Structure 1
Amino acid sequence: MGRRRRGRAVNGILILDKPLGLTSNAALQRCKRLYDAAKAGHTGSLDPLATGVLPLCFGEATKFSQFVLDADKAYTSTFVLGVGTDTLDVEGDIIAQEDASFIDVSAVKRAVTGLTGDIEQVPPMYSAIKRNGQPLYKLARKGVEVERASRPVSIHEFECLAFRPGVAAEVDVAIRCSKGTYIRSLAESLGEKVGLPAHVSALRRTMAGPYALHEAIPLAGLEELAVNGVEGLDDCLRPMDGPLSNLPSVSLVESSTFYLQRGQPVLVPNAPKNGTLRLYAADKRFIGIGEVLDDGRVAPKRLVNDS
């Protein structure tokens, strides 16, 4: 007999404004304890240096976390030109320094333009990517560097917001990009374009999939709400189907809902001819996602159990 999971059956998505200095997992565990939730997961790591939008999935919502993980992200960041670190951010050890006084804003903007669109990016050694089961950052801490294959990423928007010249010049940027983009590597690439070492000194995620920074709740605010019990915390949760907003939806009649929830494909009048669908019961209740079969029937793919 399996061990019973401790905690409440909490279902929904919390849009957390992750504070500076915490890992994504540490922030998740703090929130999980506040909610006394039996099950929770985050939707992709943010470095301790980074703040901002970190959607956390509770309970049945964890079944759809991949949709946020795969979605586009947006950031604001400050790059420092003229100083390079081993981690490519301000928390690392300085490994290179050059006078950046010769760089002006026009050179920076040309470099930004050259890094916009579909590019190849080499992940940094200080990353969670695994090599033979070992995270690269653990190898990096031992002084071991391994070859990393470049990856295609898309930089949809890359804007220079401000430029502060100097021996160590600073560039404030806004970026919207595909999943898997390393902003630290982008800073390094910008430095290479202008002939200087570079690193990230500040990073804030402003969007993750459908969720924006103005919706995010600071951890300190959640802790204040928790003083009065979990009811106020539960009011902060967003619906489970939020990450699926780009999928077409269908509503099922009561009999179709019954059979589909028992694993059987069903006919749905006027359903799309193919693809993945959001599924709703006749009472508008979200019940999960389904896949259109070759014969036109809709089969269950991932269903929620919120009974």
Structure 2
Amino acid sequence: MKQKPVHEAMQEFLDGQVILIDKPLRWTSFDAVKKIRILTGVSKVGHAGTLDPLATGLLIICTGRFTKKINEYMGMEKEYTGSFTIGATTPTFDLESEPADFKEINHLTEADLQQAAQSLTGEILQTPPIHSAIKKDGKPVYLLARKGHEVKLEPRKITISAFDITKIELPVIEFKVVCSTGTYIRSLASDFGKILGAGAYLSSLRRTRIGSFSVNDAMLPLQFEERINKMKQASEGQANA
């Protein structure tokens, strides 16, 4: 893609910047990248780690020469907060599909929940969800899964450094997880439910940290747009002075 001339105030983004975006609910990660391309006029833009549409939180977006750092950022430790709903499952392990296979959960105690979390802490094997963007034979597996094709993915070694249950109001539990790259919190929810024998799915998710980058330092897309407009207005004001 050939880079078109950019607005004078956007040169820093053409040279290379790291932008921290707080991705809104139902936006795709590509929606955020596209928004930044349009606002800055820079064609070379990419993100360092996909967030599902139903997740919110930190998205690292790189422009210009800083896109070379994407793999470095993708490999960093990540922190998430969110909630699991216990007592049912979904095909996608989250609310992209309808809950089914409801089970009784009244017998579950706080000790049961804490023990399940403890058993999923440390270095574990995790099978990615078949409704994910992982490619098999050159195609994302979620496309095959949607067509009803059988998809078999091999377990991967990941590290859950911390899995803390922060609130219990059954059927919902809230959590904070610190994990290695390649971890699927949706799969963690499914595995958590299997250990309990009651099923579980991911009902909300927010990425709060990637390495030393915090969502507290991130901007919503609208805030970034306001910043860009101010930069362009300031530049045009100086030019007309």
Q: Greater helix percent: which structure?
A: 2
User: Above 0.5 in TM-score?
Assistant: yes
2:20 corresponding residue in structure 1: 15
The C-alpha deviation readout for 1:4-56, integer Å capped at 9, x for no partner, is 32253241100110111011011111122112213110001100011101000
Is 1:141 the equivalent of 2:146? yes
Give distance in 1, aligned partners of 2:2 and 2:126: 44
Q: Which residue of 2 aligns with 1:4?
A: 2
Q: 1:26: which partner in 2?
A: 31
1:97 deviates by 1.1
- Look up the match of 1:75: 80
Pairing 1:113–2:118 present: yes
Counterpart residue number, 2:54: 49
Residues 122-156 of structure 1: CA distance to partner in whole angstroms, max 9, x if unpaired?
A: 00011111110110110111122311100000000
Aligned to 2:136: 131
Structure 1 residues 103 and 229 mapped into 2: Cα distance closer, same or farther (>3 Å)? same
Instruction: Output the TM-score relative to the length of structure 2.
Output: 0.90
The CA distance in 1 between the partners of 2:179 and 2:233, in whole Å, is 36
> Contact 1:73–1:179 (CA<8 Å) still a contact in 2?
yes
Deviations 1:142-199 (A, max 9, x none): 122311100000000110000112xxx1110000000000000000111111101111
1:84 and 2:82 correspond: no
1:35 and 1:230 in contact (8 A); partners too: no
Change (3 A) 1:118 1:38: same
Q: Distance in 2 between matches of 1:121 and 1:231?
A: 50
How many residue pairs are counted as aligned between the two chains? 227
Letter in 2 for 1:103: L
CA deviation after TM superposition for structure 1 residue 94, in Å = 2.4
Structure whose alpha-carbon radius of gyration is higher:
1
Of 172, 178, 181, 2:180 maps to 178
Corresponding residue number in structure 2 for 1:212 = 214
Equivalent AA in structure 1 for residue 37 of structure 2: K
Judge conservation of contact 1:90–1:200 (CA < 8 Å) in 2. Answer: yes
One-letter identity of the residue aligned with 1:57: C
TM-score (norm 1): 0.71
Q: CA deviation at 1:230?
A: 4.0
- Measured in 1, the distance between the counterparts of 2:107 and 2:233 equals 57
- CA RMSD in angstroms comes to 1.5
Residues of 1 paired with 2:4 and 2:94: CA distance?
Answer: 38
Residue 225 of structure 1 pairs with residue 227 of structure 2: yes
